[in-house]
Amino acid sequence: MIGHLSAFAGFTGIPFANVIAPLIIWQIKKDTMPFAAEQAKEALNFNITVSIAGIISAVLIFVVIGFVLLPIVMIVWIVFTIIAGIAASKGENYRYPFALRLVS
């Protein structure tokens, strides 16, 4: 659960904290807690995907469509992160539906 919810570190204002926090959790837990490490890795992949989508949306603000896309990306990020945190707290293996599998 902490791997998923650590992504909310992005609200601290630290650039890419939403990616850094799950990365740290994954590195710390990968040898001792396989389930937590797997879920942190899943969160890492999702947050990399969301960061890419956010950057693209921010650039597209110059052609107006970004004003619509950026809030959608943020809402999807928050909703799926909460869903994943709840699933992980129940011991369920959660996979985000929209995530590039960059870290394996």
Structural domain spans, the chain: 2-89
Provide the pLDDT confidence category of residue 4 given band limits of 50, 70 and 90. Answer: confident
Phi, psi of 102 (to 5 degrees): -85, -30
Q: How far is CA 26 from CA 5, 10, 32, 75, 79, in A?
A: 13, 17, 10, 24, 21
Residues 69-92: pLDDT tens digits? 999 999 999 999 999 999 999 999
Q: How far is CA 98 from CA 46, 47, 80, in A?
A: 7, 10, 9
Query: CA-to-CA distance for 11 and 5, rounded, in angstroms?
Result: 11
As a whole number, mean pLDDT of residues 1-10 equals: 74
Q: Which of 41, 49, 59, 54 is nearest to 100 (CA)?
A: 49
For the chain, give the mean pLDDT: 90
Provide the pLDDT confidence category of residue 1 given band limits of 50, 70 and 90. Answer: low
Contacts of 47 (CB under 8 A, 6+ apart): 7, 10, 18, 19, 22, 77
pLDDT at 41 over 80: yes
As a whole number, mean pLDDT of residues 27-49 equals: 92
